[in-house]
Structure 1
Amino acid sequence: MPVPRLRALAPLVVASAIALFAIGWSFTFKEVPPFLIRGFQPAAFPRFVAGLILILALLACLELARQADRPAAQTEAPLVPAFWRTLLMLAIFAAVLALGDFLVAMMIGTAGIAAMWGERRPVVLALLGVVAPVLVILLFDQLFQVRFPRGFLLTFYYG
C-alpha cells in the first residue's frame, strides 16, 4: 500500500498538533469564564472540541490511506467556486458578529452558506436561516446553560 503524499497529510498533522496543544493547555486552566462554569467543568469544552478535531483528522488520514491504493489523477482539481463564496460568507458572518449581534450573524451565516452551495428552496433556506440558529441558542441555553452575547434579538430572549 503506497504511503499518502506528505502534502496531503501536512494539514492533518498541523490540525492534530494544534488540537493536542489545546488539550495539554486545558490542563493548566485554573479559572474559567463564568458563563462556562454552569455547563462544563473548566476544561471540558476545549478538550471536547480538540478531541473532535483529533478524531476527524484520524478519519481523514484513514481516508487518504484508502485512496492511496487507487491511481492518482493527473492533476489536482481546483477548488470549486462555492469554496470561495463560502469564504466570503464567513467574512460577512464575522462582520455582522463584530457589529454585536450573534443570533443575526448565525442566521445570515447558515442560510448564506447553504445558498452559496446551491440551495435555492426558500423554505429550506428559511428553516436553516431562522429555525436552526434559534434551536442552537435554545440548546446551549437550556441544556448547557451557556449565555451568548446579547444583541438585538437575544436581548428579547434573555429579557
Structure 2
Amino acid sequence: MKQNIYILPSSVIILSIAVIIAALNLEEAAPVIVGEGMQPRVFPIFLMGLNIFLSLLMLWEFSRNPPGSIPLEGFPTYGSIILFVLFFIITQYIDMFIGIAVVMFLMCRLWGERRLAVNLALALSTPLVIFFLFDLVLKIRFPRGLLTDWYYG
C-alpha cells in the first residue's frame, strides 16, 4: 500500500515531461501575439514545469509524512461530476453562459449553501463578469449560443 501513494505524482511527472518534449519538438511555433510577456508556445511548458515542481514537492512530503487512509467520497463529489456533464450538455445545445449560471446555482445547493439569494447572486454575477471582462476589456468574442446570439445581433 505504501508504494501506491507514489503512483499519482510519478505519473504526473512523466506526463509533464512528455508534454514538454512534445512542445519543444513542434515544427511551427505560434506567432508572437502578445508583445511582451509569456508567449503561447511557452505557456504549456511553464504549466508542465509547475506540475513537475508541485509533484516533486508532493513526493517529498509523502516520503516524510505518508498519508493515512482516505475515506470514500460522498454524494457532493459525484454530484459535481454529474453537474459537469450537465454543463457540457447545456453548453453544446443552449449557451455557455446559461450553463455556467445553472451549474453554479446547482453546485452551490449541492455543496450545502442554503441561502437562495447568495446562490442566485453568485450564479448570475459570475457569468456576467466573465462575459463583459472578455468582451469589453479583452475584446474576445464567445461562440454562438442563445444569449450570445442576442447580444452580438
Aligned-pair identity (%): 25
1:121 to 115, 123, 128: 115
Q: Cα offset for 1:95? A: 1.3
Match of 2:80 in 1: 86
Moved more, 95-104 or 133-142: 133-142
Match of 1:9 in 2: 6
Quick one: distance in 2 between partners of 1:42 and 1:29?
A: 14
3-state SS of the aligned residue for 2:112?
A: coil
Query: What is the CA RMSD across the aligned residues, in angstroms?
Result: 3.4
Quick one: distance in 2 between partners of 1:64 and 1:156?
A: 52
Quick one: distance in 1 between partners of 2:131 and 2:49?
A: 23
**1:153 pairs with 2:140:** no
1:107, 1:129 within 8 Å by CA — same for their partners in 2? yes
Q: Cα offset for 1:48? A: 5.2
May I ask how many residue pairs the two structures share in their alignment? 150
Q: With CA pairs under 8 Å and 6+ residues apart, which has the higher RCO, 1 or 2?
A: 1
Q: Cα offset for 1:6? A: 3.0
2:16, 2:51 within 8 Å by CA — same for their partners in 1? yes
Match of 2:23 in 1: 26
Quick one: distance in 1 between partners of 2:57 and 2:137?
A: 29
Structure 2 unaligned regions, length at least 5: none
**1:111 pairs with 2:100:** no
Q: Given the superposition, is the C-alpha separation of residues 51 and 100 from structure 1 closer, same or farther in structure 2, using an over 3 Å criterion?
A: farther
2:97, 2:127 within 8 Å by CA — same for their partners in 1? yes
1:38, 1:145 within 8 Å by CA — same for their partners in 2? no
Q: Cα offset for 1:13? A: 2.6
